[in-house]
Structure 1
Amino acid sequence: MSDKVAVLVAGSWGTAIASVLAENQLDVTLWSRNEQQVAEINNEHRNHRFLGDIELSPRIRATTSMEEALHETRAVFVVAPSASMREVALQMRPFLRQETILVHATKGFEATTLRRMSTVLAEELPQYDPYSIVVLSGPSHAEEVIKQCPTTVVVASENTEAAEAAQDLLINSYFRVYTNPDVIGVEVGGALKNIIALGAGLTDGLGYGDNAKAALITRGLAEISRLGTAMGGNPLTFAGLAGIGDLVVTCTSKHSRNWRAGYTLAQGEPLETVLQQMGMVVEGVKTTQAAYRLSREYGITMPIADELYAVLFEGKSAIAAAQDLMGRGRTHEIEEVAKPVQTKWFG
């Protein structure tokens, strides 16, 4: 069996995954549209824009050719921003073989259609078995993975063999991988935690302290669980790595783009300026829009997501949003869990 694997694209998380695979003695082709970035990776073994001066394994080679990246590849890991996933999948279509293990590690929804990323891939790759698509998620900052800090993640697929194949490719002494059959729950948890991380950055930026952030994380998890369960996810998934695990790390670390964006917004910077300063995709912004629409589609109450939507897109101040959350009417903490809807796989 081939030892060649591909990673699309060469951002911070894609490069970190490539490094894990290279550490596992696999030959990694890292795909990028940027010729200058490709040259830097091949000639200097660095991806400076995203990961500074960290030296990359010589087993990682970069290319701008999708055909070259996917040629006789054992597995492909797609780590494109959610807004680019459909375009990347279209470029993959002529070259992806059915026997290739297909994993995506993108945490978000498609903004226009509200599709999960596995659904986008399935729609654009009709030759591939949709039930064999694997999702990689969990608490995993690229900045720590690239330094081989102990990290634990989850891979989810409705095809157990596909999930275990991805697990075998990734697992090593510092990167522990669990499997889970709940694709919907893992995708929803990974996407929605970015909204709460934006809120955590706002609370820290306003100086509200640890009590407020703990409350935000806890009640945020309740919102994630409500919507995720309504969409068909397993409630237990949200108590796992793709749920509370990813939520905690994203809400409490300065590595988190979403936390940093929220913190900067609290200083009074407009959203467009914050996003320009970040220089990287902040998935929580578009995910907030998606959650706002999904909560209404599924009839789910999400007050934190609603207030963040008002701050990001309606000009509401973060202080006013916090006051309105604290002033909500009395309710019971243990709410009835929404019953999952019966949906087709493409939902």
Structure 2
Amino acid sequence: MADRLLDIANHLSQKKANDSVESFEAAKSPSVGMTNSSVIDGEIDPEKKPLRVSVIGGGNWGTTIAKVVSESALEYPTLFDINVRWWVHEEDIVYKGENHPAKISYILNNFHENVKYLPGVRLPDNLHATGNMFEAIEDCDILVFNVPHQFLGSIIDTHITPILKEKSQQLGRETTFRGDVVARHCIAISCLKGFHINLDDPKDLKIQLLSDFIDEKLNIPTGSLSGANLASEVAKENFSETTISFPPRYVTDKDHVSVKCNSIAHPHDPKILKTLFHRPYFHVRVIDDVAGVSVAGALKNIVALACGFVKGLGWGDNAAAAIQRIGLQEITKFGIKYFPASKMETYYVESAGVADLITTCNGGRNVKVGKRYAEMYLEGNREINIGDLEKEVLNGQSAQGIITAEEVNQWLEFKNETQDFPLFSCVYKCLFEKADLTEIPSMLDTE
């Protein structure tokens, strides 16, 4: 049935647009153990509404993903609502040549360029930015989270929870996120990198995937997207690939699947997800290992910081290769130990695994911050404020490895297992305990 829907959508899209579009057959994915059922409430009805897509986050990666899905919405107007809505954190920006600052949403909607976080890249006209969360996500079918992970909880509490409270007052009853704010069958995709550490009970810490945190907070099925994706390269439409994972339990879960779907397709279908995110320059594989994709995406940033250290110290490619080898070993060990649902092949076969590690350790934000940290260390600076350095190097953006290193160390100390992960422990000590960077080899010599 999914194939039939894709054929119909392709045919109707060709009729609506006066140009050719590539066949939906190209959107087929080698999904593992997932049911390909696109319509859940009877016969295919092409008159049903297209899927509405919303993106939360306006940094360089958030902007890039917003560009990607907006292009797909234009290409497949039968499957996806052409207008992609985009929540951005409002700030005042001076556009080039202008004398006065304006809200970033105004600049995005009128000049179609994110001059602060992704300058020089033209954004699609069908991408509509707003600082109003309800306006951005109302009745959406696919919700993409793409913000620095340390702000996820506060964004939900500050911008989404008040919507639920206001809805409850209006309706005179308790409201739910799915059904009262977004579509009842809505799913989420997390592009975030990191973990959530539950600090409710210091004697019983819990570590959580960010996809599970979103699911728990909003009761919305959540998958992950991660891969060897430097935002600037993807935005320039240089060839790359990524991995999307979606929890298989929701594909067969009766409560989720039996929900009456008013859209032309059910958003959890792997072919629908691939069609939305896949571009000629941005290739997508859809799998079902959310844990593996999430763990690899989070921990590679810690390794990249260490790679930056040895690059800044001038130790060369051999040292960087050693860091990456040890890092891959610790990533897989951490994933299998603390998230046993993750699959070993994800770390080695998928773009979200070793490919992302290589890319991030060569050109990502974290390696840049680590390299500059080491250069300043060699200059004799022993009182480096890592937060200030991060802002200086990244123009206000976030190197996720810094806070992830802190979170992972907190977890490993709670488990009394820091000695089992010497590289992760080494990065934490260098950043937060002012350890001697020149002692990195001895800190890693634990065998």
The answer to whether structure 1 residue 98 and structure 2 residue 184 are counterparts is yes
Q: Deviations over 1:46-91 (max 9, x none)?
A: 1011111211111111011111111232311010211111233343
Corresponding residue number in structure 2 for 1:205: 312
Give, as a single letter, the amino acid of the residue that structure 1 aligns with 2:274: Q
Corresponding residue number in structure 2 for 1:280: 397
Corresponding residue number in structure 2 for 1:153: 242
Give, as a single letter, the amino acid of the residue that structure 1 aligns with 2:423: I
The answer to whether structure 1 residue 39 and structure 2 residue 106 are counterparts is yes
Q: Deviations over 1:167-201 (max 9, x none)?
A: 22111211111112111111111000000000111
Distance 1:329 1:86 in 2: 37
Distance 1:30 1:37 in 2: 12
| 1:292 aligned to which of 409, 417, 420 | 409
The answer to whether structure 1 residue 252 and structure 2 residue 362 are counterparts is yes
Distance 1:281 1:60 in 2: 24
Mapping 1:37-76, distance limit 5 Å:
37-76=104-143
The answer to whether structure 1 residue 264 and structure 2 residue 372 are counterparts is yes
Q: What secondary structure is seen at the aligned counterpart in 1 of 2:120? A: coil
Corresponding residue number in structure 1 for 2:333: 226
Shift of 1:92: 3.5
Q: Deviations over 1:16-55 (max 9, x none)?
A: 0011111111422111121511111011111011111211
Distance 1:140 1:28 in 2: 22
Shift of 1:100: 1.7
Query: RMSD across aligned C-alpha pairs, in angstroms?
Result: 1.8
TM-score, length-scaled by structure 1: 0.88
Are the equivalent residues in 2 in contact too, given 1:155–1:163 (CA < 8 A)?
Answer: no
* Structure 2 unaligned regions, length at least 5: 1-48, 75-81, 92-102, 165-180, 200-206, 252-267
| 1:169 aligned to which of 266, 269, 276 | 276
Q: What secondary structure is seen at the aligned counterpart in 2 of 1:153? A: strand
Corresponding residue number in structure 2 for 1:338: none
Shift of 1:145: 1.0
Corresponding residue number in structure 2 for 1:140: 229
Give, as a single letter, the amino acid of the residue that structure 2 aligns with 1:31: W
Size of the alignment, in residue pairs? Answer: 322
Are the equivalent residues in 2 in contact too, given 1:7–1:77 (CA < 8 A)?
Answer: yes
Q: What secondary structure is seen at the aligned counterpart in 2 of 1:30? A: strand
Distance 2:406 2:422 in 1: 13
Q: What secondary structure is seen at the aligned counterpart in 1 of 2:241? A: strand
The answer to whether structure 1 residue 122 and structure 2 residue 191 are counterparts is no
Corresponding residue number in structure 1 for 2:154: 87
Structure 1 residues 288 and 187, CA, compared in 2 at 3 Å: closer, same or farther?
A: same
Distance 1:111 1:75 in 2: 26
Corresponding residue number in structure 1 for 2:299: 192
Distance 1:72 1:61 in 2: 15
Are the equivalent residues in 2 in contact too, given 1:163–1:179 (CA < 8 A)?
Answer: no
Are the equivalent residues in 2 in contact too, given 1:10–1:32 (CA < 8 A)?
Answer: yes
Shift of 1:252: 0.9
Distance 1:41 1:305 in 2: 39
Are the equivalent residues in 2 in contact too, given 1:83–1:111 (CA < 8 A)?
Answer: no
Q: What secondary structure is seen at the aligned counterpart in 1 of 2:85? A: strand
Give, as a single letter, the amino acid of the residue that structure 1 aligns with 2:354: I
| 1:30 aligned to which of 65, 86, 104 | 86
Are the equivalent residues in 2 in contact too, given 1:111–1:286 (CA < 8 A)?
Answer: no
Distance 2:344 2:355 in 1: 14
**Which structure has the larger Rg?**
2
Are the equivalent residues in 2 in contact too, given 1:103–1:166 (CA < 8 A)?
Answer: no
Give, as a single letter, the amino acid of the residue that structure 2 aligns with 1:291: V
Give, as a single letter, the amino acid of the residue that structure 2 aligns with 1:138: G
Give, as a single letter, the amino acid of the residue that structure 1 aligns with 2:355: G
Give, as a single letter, the amino acid of the residue that structure 2 aligns with 1:205: G
Are the equivalent residues in 2 in contact too, given 1:227–1:295 (CA < 8 A)?
Answer: no
Are the equivalent residues in 1 in contact too, given 2:54–2:140 (CA < 8 A)?
Answer: yes
| 1:18 aligned to which of 52, 66, 83 | 66
Distance 1:273 1:33 in 2: 21
| 2:344 aligned to which of 226, 229, 235 | 235
